[in-house]
Each structure stands twice: as C-alpha cells, then as structure tokens.
A and B are shown apart, each in its own frame.
Chain A
Amino acid sequence: MHRLAHALSASTDNTTVVSARAVIHGVEAICDPLGSLFLPETRTLVVSDLHLEKGSAFARRGMMLPPYDTLATLRVLEAAITRHDPRLVISLGDTFHDRVGSAAMPDTFRHMIAAMAMGREWVWINGNHDPDGACGLPGISLDEFRHAGLTFRHEPSRGEAAGEIAGHLHPAATVVRREKSVRRACFATDGKRLLMPAFGVTTGGLDLRHRAMTGLFDRARLVAHMLGRDRIYSVRFTNLIG
C-alpha cells in the first residue's frame, strides 16, 4: 500500500512528487499519487470512496478486521490537504462504509476532520453506502453537486456525461509486460468523464476491463492514471497489455 507507506513516513515529503495533468470537459485537473484530484483554478480537492469505519462495520458483523483503517485513511487525507491547501474539499460519496458509520465514528477522528476543515468549505456527496449524509461533521451533504463547470456525483450516470466526476467503481488497471502483471488503483478518464480511485486504505479496486465499466468511456481515448508511490503512471487503456 503505497499511499499508506507514504502517509506513515511523513519525513519523506521532500521527495519530488510526479502528478499527472488531465483536462476534463475543458477543466484542468491534477491527478495526485495519493489518490486525490485537485482543480487548480478553483482550488478544489476531490477524494472519493474513503470507506471510513470499514473495520468496525465488519466487526459489527463478526469479522474483526484491524481497527486502524480510519486513522490510516485520514492521515493520507491530511497529507493531501497539506499538499494542496484547497479552498473546497469534495468527498465523493461512500465516505463511510455503512449508514451508521458517520454517527459511530470515535470523537478523535471527528476532531481530526474538523481540524482539516478549518478555513475551508466541505461538501459530502451521498453514496450508496452512506445515503443519509455525514452526521455531525462540518460542511454540507448533497446527492449531486455542480461546480466549476463539472458535475460531482457518486455513481457514474449511464450514457453521455460530459464533465462528470464520479467514484463508486474503484477503478484499477493492470499492466502486463513480459508476462508479469502489475495492478494499481487509477484515475480513469477519456477527457469527458473521470472516475476517481478509491481513497480508503483498505478499499480494493475493480479492473477497468470489468463489465461494470463498459459503456462509460470512449476506450480509444481512455487513459488510466495509475497510482505509484511518488508518481502517477499514465497508460492508455489500449496499451495496458504489452
């Protein structure tokens, strides 16, 4: 987990970070290796699918996953906010792993988020895991948000969707070279629409070739911006398997 390792070793911040520049429906966006998207013109930071309190959601159902995921994810978020100092933060849904997550989250984490939100605006988009909004956190909860010429929603809409930034599917891409494969979470965009990678540290990915992705992109123009430790690797969809 590169982002986790990065967030845990705060001292390595002097390394050069290589982000990727993308243009979505005419809006400039920076894909960051931490998994956040930054819109420089409006200083907006977008993250998606944090799945906070995933460990405790599973524990409630008898699977005792490590209780460290919320802290680990929030540390990465802190790193992203420190890096970009955004005016507005958009969390693109599934911020919490389930409905009760935002209410049940321990206060220490609540305070961490409050500290991050100081002096900024915050929009929580409702996701399918957390449709009831964020409970007791600064900012507002919305189903959908139009801003800076783009549309922010959790689930990508079917059909034509110029300027849509969405999450939900947790895109990941697999590169095959010399019969070895490497798989990473990625930003996926064809210039019209952009799908965000999942930001939560214990959230897996879904391959771009999965049928849930079909019809969302013009595959000839589709690029996967894959998350590496300190840089983004941008690979055309048609070129993933060499």
Chain B
Amino acid sequence: MIRSKVNRAEIAGAVDFSFAGFDLPLFSVNRIDSPRPQGDALTLPAPFLRWFGEKGWQPRAHQLELLARAEAGESTLLIAPTGAGKTLAGFLPSLVDLTRRGKIPPGSAFRGIHTLYLSPLKALAVDIERNLMKPVDEMGLPVRVENRTGDTPQGKRQRQKLNPPDILLTTPEQLALLLANGEAERFFRDLRYVVFDELHSLVTSKRGHLLSLGLARLRRLAPSLQTIGLSATVADPMDLQRWLAPQAPDAEAHAGLVTIKGGARPEITILRTDERVPWAGHSARYAIADVYTAIKAHGTTLLFVNTRSQAELLFQELWTINDDNLPIALHHGSLDVAQRRKVEAAMSENRLRAVVATSTLDLGIDWGDVDLVVHVGAPKGASRLAQRIGRANHRMDEPSKAILVPANRFEVMECQAALDANYIGAQDTPPVGKGALDVLAQHVLGMACAAPFDPLSLYEEIISASPYATLAWETFERVIDFVATGGYALKTYERYARIRKTKEGLYRVSNPLVAQQYRLNVGTIVESPMLNVRLVKRNQRGSLGRGGMSLGKVEEYFLEMLSQGDTFLFSGKVLRFEGIRENECLVSQAFSFDPKVPSYAGGKFPLSTYLAEQVRKMLADPARRASLPEQVRDWLSLQNDVSMLPREDELLIETFPRGSRHYMVIYAFEGRLAHQTLGMLLTRRLDRAGLKPLGFVATDYSLAVWALDDLGATFQLRPKALADLFDEDMLGDDLEAWLNESFLLKRTFRNCAVIAGLIDQRHPGKEKSGRQVTVSADLIYDVLRAHEPDHLLLEATRNDAASGLLDIGRLGDMLKRIKGHITHRRLDRISPLAVPVMLEIGKEAVQGEAQDFLLSEAADDLINEAMGAEPL
C-alpha cells in the first residue's frame, strides 16, 4: 500500500508531524495578501487545543491564517513546496467547523456532505482517509470521513447516498458521476468546503477543465461553499486563484493566497564526471558507474527519468554493474499494478536502495526515506525539477539532495539553467488554458442526466468557471446541438436525439440508455489501446504454454511492428515476442542482453519555454558559459571559432554540404514538438520553391532539414528568400494544408471524439472480440473532414493540436521573435553545434533515444569530421 507523507516521519523517528500540515517547524507564512485581524476567530475549539498541548505542538501561522480566512468566508489558495505536508492542513477549517456543529443526533433530517476533497490520484484519496482518521480519533471529533473511488463497492456507494459522510474524499471523475445523478442536489446542498489537492497538476489538463465545470455546478447547488486549493509552487498563482473563484461576465474574482516558503535550500549538483559526455542521445550510459557510486553512498535513492524506455535502459544498465546486489527496483506506469504496489511497499518499508521511476511518482505519494534524488536526463522544466527534488526532503531540517545527470552536452546547459532557476525560485508551470469543447460536451450531457436544464441558466453557470469564462453563447448552442444530434449540418438524426427540448424549454435526456452511456464514458483520460504482456514458456515441443506472469501493458501500435522472434526491452527484461493471443501479447524470456527493437521512446515533455530561453542566454553570454564543465565549454568555443554562437534573440541558421546532400540546421530552441511542426512546414515551402527537400529531423534544441539543392548558395544569393521562408504566414495556408493530412491530428481527433461522447471509450476486458465491429476514429475523421470541415469536434481537435502535439502557439511566438534577426552561416562542413541533431538523422521520431548505443560508432565519425583533423 502507498503511504502518505504523514507516515514517513513516523518511520524516520523524527519529529512526529503525523498531522503534517499542523506542525512544520521550518515553514512559515511569508506572504499574505491582506493582513487579517488575529482575534477570536482564531481560537481553536477545546479538543484541538488539548490535542496540540498533549503533543507539545503549536499550530503554525499559515494554518491559522488559512483558518481565519475560511472563517471570514474567503476561498484560499495555499502554495507550498512539495513535501510540505500541506494536504492535511487544508482540512483544518472543516474539522473546526464540524466540531463546532457537534454530533448529529440519530433520527435527524437528512444532511448532505460538509466537505468534499478532490485528489488527482485514487491512491491519494484512500491514503488521506487513513491519515485524517488518526487525529480525528485522537481528538474524538464528531466527524465521519469516507472515500469514494472507482473501487468503492456498490453497497457502500448506495449507503453514502442515503447517509452521506461529513467529509468525502474522491477524484474528479467520481465527482462528475455524482453530479450527473438525480440526487446530486440533495447530496451537495449542505456543502461548506471543497478542498482541491495538487491543484497545480489538475488544472492544466482537460481533467481540470471538467473539474472546473463540476465546481461551477457545486456552487449552484450550494451557493455559499468555499474553496481551498493546495498547490506546489507555480509560475502564476493568480491563474489558480481565479480558478477557485466564480467568475462574473464583467468582473474578475479570485481566491486569496497564502504562500509557504520552502525549508532548507536543496543541494543540487550536476554530475561531475571524468567520462566523456556524449554529443547526442538520451541514455546517459556514460554516467552509469558514477550513478551507481552515488547509490552506494546513500541510504535510499530515487532515480527519475523522463520516459519509460529510459527507465528500462537505466535499470538494465544498473543491474549490469550491480556487483553488490543492491536491491534496485523499477517503477513506471506501464508495469503491472501488482508489481508497482510491491515496489511501493518495499520502498516505504525501506527495503530498497534505489528505485528507477518515471513521472508516475511526480505526485504526492510517499516513498519512505529518500536520501538522494538523481535526475537522469534533463528535467525539461524548472518546476518539474523542483517538484521531483521535493520527493527527497523527508526531514525538514535537512536540505534535499539531488544530482542532475545530463545525457548529452546540450542537456548540460539545460541542467545548468534548471539548477539556476531552482535557486532563484523561477517557475515554468504551464498556464491553465482555455476550456476544451469536447470536455464541455461531456459535461452538458452529464447535466442533462442529472435533471432537465434551462440552456441560459446552464450557460451562466458554465461561464462562471474560469477556463470557460470567455465561452460565446453561440459556441455553447453548437455544443448543445452536438450533444443532442451530433451537431451536423445535415439534420437526419432529430428522431434519435439524446437530449430534447421540452415544452417548457428545458433539455432532458430522451431515454435512460443515454445516462448509462454517459456513465460508462465519463472522464477525460483516453487510453491508447494497450495489450497485456504475458510471460510464457515454450514447452519441449516448442509450443507455447498457457498462464504465466503478467508484466504490464504495452501500446498496440508498438506491437504491430514486431514479428515473432523480435526482442525488446520491457519490465527490466529483454523479451522475445511470440505473438498475440486474444487480447494479450505473449512473450518469452530472451536470454540476451541486446534487444533488437527499441521500445517506444518519444520524449514525454518538451523543453519548457523558460529553460529554452535560459539556454539561449547561456549560449550568448560568456560569463554564464564559464560555469559549465570544461568539455562543454570546449565544444562551444570550437563552435565559436568554426561558425558562431547566436545572440539571445538571434536565430542562427547554418548550411553545409555533406555527402551528396545539402543541410540546413536551425537553432530555434523551442522544444521538439514545435520543431517538428516547423520542419513539416519548412519542407513544404522548400518543396514549393523547388529546392527539393528530402527530409528533416528535430530535437529539443534544433532542427535539421536536408535537400538535394544547395540551400546555402540560394540563401546567400537571395537573403530575402530565407526571410520569406521563415515568414509568419507559414502558419496560415501551409499549416492548414499540412494539418489536413497529419496523422497526429487523427490521434488528437480520437481523444476528442471519445471525451465528447461521439465514440465509446474502450474498456479493458470489455472489447468486442472482433475489432472490425468497433468504430474507427480515423475513418470518421476522414468522412467528417470531407463533408463538414467546420464541425465542432474538428474545431476542438485543431485547438488541441495548436497547444499540444504541434505546439503551434510556441512556434508562432518564435517566428515573431526572430523576424529580422536571422543570421545565416554558410559553412563547408558540419559545425560542432550541429552534431547532436545530425546524429538523430536516420532515427524515426517515435523511436529516438533507444538507438543511441547502436549509433555510437557512426557518432564518432561525425565528431571527427566536425573537429577537423583532430582525432579523438
């Protein structure tokens, strides 16, 4: 079972802040928007004072501040760094209020829930219940706490509806289900507080959009409710403060803010090594021995990587040199749940020395005593790094310790930028963003399932949610039309409408089947089709046995390119693909250390805008470059001799011939997604200009395009051609034309179609046996695009693509920035700065990093070439 931060102190035997938020000696309020009178409102009820007294504790300033604001009727955002134990602090106003209310005598009238707690993780909700019950029991408070998740048995759900607890702990999806129920009004009418945990991670996704709509509905049911948001440090707290407050068309409202500053400054270093840091790649193999030494020198180490395949590789590499047989485990989202739980249990019991993990551990689940965090690969964002390092600060009086391990030379700069950011407290969390239309469609159907609705009043409710504050009435009408009959110009589905307008002008669901369908498809997390991986044995006759251990899940599209006998890395093992039986992928042990097929390895996070800017600054500023390791400095000064280092706002473009081709490398530093989009658009334009582009490859830092024609000569002859090539107008027709044939858009469409309820979510284990009867989202996309290009779902798809997969917004900003600042260098051979992206050529975008080691020999040739004659 997963433990929360709270239990960790007990294990450590340190100060028992088992009600963590209540006693964090090193934390204090350092910023308060408007000072409040510290008067009677702050007197805690007797059981609390007695309890604090018995423990020898003092309630902390920020807790009393939060309580005072709550009592004064204000909604509040509490910002504290990861590991500060803020979660339980958020419950203080509820507990005090419930204690004042006292026990409800048996036989009293029905009373709805008092406090609703929402967490992004099911496990967290379950964990909080246990930890909240401890002080509640010790103080003897008249408070009933229960959780409700997808695992809650039907009987308990029913009972909760008839006899609600005082505090209900649940997830956004469960809230949506509760709100779509006919009894929602009764259930929520007495609601006083809504506590949002890990708000920073919730709000930026579609899940957050759905939750904001849920909050708007809760406000309608219980107009006097107050919100408490708990968040890690973010770039723009006001975004979250607005999210917590009801928005009005003419005035902006926001919740108050209480900020707790972190304790001791974390000790972060970049790995210093005698090994040669590679020019490209993501495996960080060179550092394995150093990492292993660090693990040996610390009690427990948490190793973070960015992708599943990096985790697999690192784990395998560590075990190759694990001569001391240290207990080192692997944890990532694709592994079997039972296996993950085993690792979590072992970790919280301090039975492990190290865990290699991906982002599944970013959120507030406790990992026992962690002495060191090692981040392998660049963190890609400053805030992400801070949150991950926060996993190690189990003793508040000691600084967290972290080592960053850059996998290549660009990453050295990125790590340095992230480290600087961490010390100056810079944040680069993404903004909340505009509410998605597919999510809105799902919510509108849910509201119709709850009770017939008046469109105007539902519209007013929806625009009170900050992500939807600017939603136009016309768009809302289109959403209703979509929910009713699919929103097509051709009106042939009126008789099948899912919701219909009554004589009174209210929309109601046309039959119970609609509500049932809604319940099956609620939520915004669309899983890509996954197959279970089962380890089987071959018997003596060579046929496959039945049964065997389940190792986890792998994407269907990955398996489609395997044939029997191919080997790949998964779950820390090299596996041999045997075939697909029913809905399972059968594998056997491969007895090899050299997987043939790299596992899926697309980088999960693009480089944040903030870090990209810092890396550009570092390149431009000799003083900042001085802090970099010698190898990297040498590399950059060589670049300066051979070509140049671009100024901060300058876009450097190098052209050079190589083999029979002509290359153009663009140092844009805007992250892989934006670069990929730029690459697609540039090759279209070059093609039209007759320059015969052949292909392109993108990394987080730069983009390389190659062509048959001499691009450098053309640009030298006509500098305007280069400026035209990068003109902002490429985001017009070229983008449109490209989008229409992009497979990325099809994938995005599928997600939107599922969330909006156009096609059913696939439920694991419930798929129909033959897949030909299911609906293909790709085919629907084609038909829709051919016949109704302005359809609501295509609009939602384009909106998603602009901010997500294609990063068009960021590309647009860049094109604006570099206008008039393009510098072209025509070289006779590859430059040092170009080597990393050139090494990526030949790899497909989706395979990427796992091929690193195969390319290391080729890499050396390229490096030699760049260095001139100097042998390495």
A residues neighboring B (CB under 8 Å): 1, 4-5, 8, 56, 58-69, 71-72, 106, 169-170, 174, 176, 178-181, 183, 198, 201-207, 209-212, 241
Contacts and interface: CB of A to CB of B under 8 A. Distances in A.
Interface in B774-822: 774-776, 778-780, 782-784, 786-788, 791
A67 B770 contact: no
A66 B783 CA distance: 7
Given A66-B788, A179-B597, A179-B844, A204 B776 contact: yes
Contact of A67 (B493, B514, B561, B582): B493
A1 B779 contact: yes
Interface stretch (B154-162, B404-412, B484-492, B526-534): B484-492
B780 A65 contact: yes
8 contacts: A4-B782, A5-B786, A67-B490, A106-B492, A181-B560, A203-B779, A204-B771, A207-B560
B779 A201 contact: yes
B496 A65 contact: no
Contact of B783 (A62, A106, A202, A206): A202
Contact of A69 (B582, B758, B778, B783): B783
A226 to B, nearest CB: 15
B581 interface: yes
Contacts of A201: 779, 782-783
Which of B582, B597, B772 lies at the interface centre, i.e. has the most chain A CB atoms within 10 A of its CB? B772
Interface string B476-506: 0000001001111010110010100000000
A152 to B, nearest CB: 20
A66 B486 contact: yes
Contacts of A202: 775-776, 779-780, 783
B445 to A, nearest CB: 10
Contacts of A62: 496, 498, 513-514, 517
Given A206-B770, A212-B770, A65 B775 contact: yes
Contacts of A207: 560
B458 interface: no
A72 B847 contact: no
Contacts of B844: 178-180
A66 B784 contact: yes
B41 to A, nearest CB: 52
B224 interface: no
Given A72-B783, A203-B772, A206-B771, A66 B488 contact: yes
A204 B775 CA distance: 7
B498 to A, nearest CB: 6
Contacts of B582: 211
Nearest to A49: B772
B657 to A, nearest CB: 25
B772 A205 contact: yes
A176 B771 contact: no
Contacts of B485: 59, 64
Contact of A63 (B597, B760, B788, B847): B760
B759 interface: yes
A204 B779 contact: yes
Contacts of B486: 59, 64-67
Across the A-B interface, the 10 shortest Cβ-Cβ residue pairs: A64-B486, A1-B782, A204-B776, A68-B787, A241-B563, A59-B496, A170-B772, A181-B561, A202-B779, A206-B772
Given A59-B486, A62-B514, A179-B597, A204 B772 contact: yes
Contacts of B776: 202-204
Contacts of A183: 560
B842 to A, nearest CB: 9
B343 to A, nearest CB: 31
Contacts of B482: 64
Contacts of B778: 1
A189 to B, nearest CB: 19
A4 B786 contact: yes
A58 B760 CA distance: 11
A83 to B, nearest CB: 20
A102 B774 CA distance: 21
Given A56-B493, A67-B490, A4 B783 contact: yes
Interface string B577-599: 00011100000000000000100
Nearest to A7: B786
Contacts of B757: 63
Nearest to A171: B772
Given A202-B783, A241-B563, A169 B513 contact: no
Contacts of A179: 561, 597, 844, 847
Contacts of A64: 482, 485-488, 493, 496, 498, 758
B130 to A, nearest CB: 40
Interface in B174-188: none
A1 B783 contact: yes
A64 B780 CA distance: 11
Contacts of A1: 778-779, 782-783, 786
B457 to A, nearest CB: 25
A75 to B, nearest CB: 10
Which of B485, B557, B786 lies at the interface centre, i.e. has the most chain A CB atoms within 10 A of its CB? B786
Contacts of A60: 496
Contact of A174 (B560, B759, B783, B786): B560
A223 B729 CA distance: 47
B758 A72 contact: no
A67 B496 CA distance: 12
A207 B487 CA distance: 33
Contact of B496 (A56, A66, A71, A210): A56
Contacts of B492: 56, 67, 106
B788 A68 contact: yes
B138 to A, nearest CB: 51
Contact of B787 (A72, A169, A170): A72
Given A1-B783, A65-B780, A210-B771, 10 more contacts: A1-B782, A66-B486, A68-B787, A106-B492, A176-B560, A176-B563, A180-B844, A203-B776, A206-B770, A207-B560
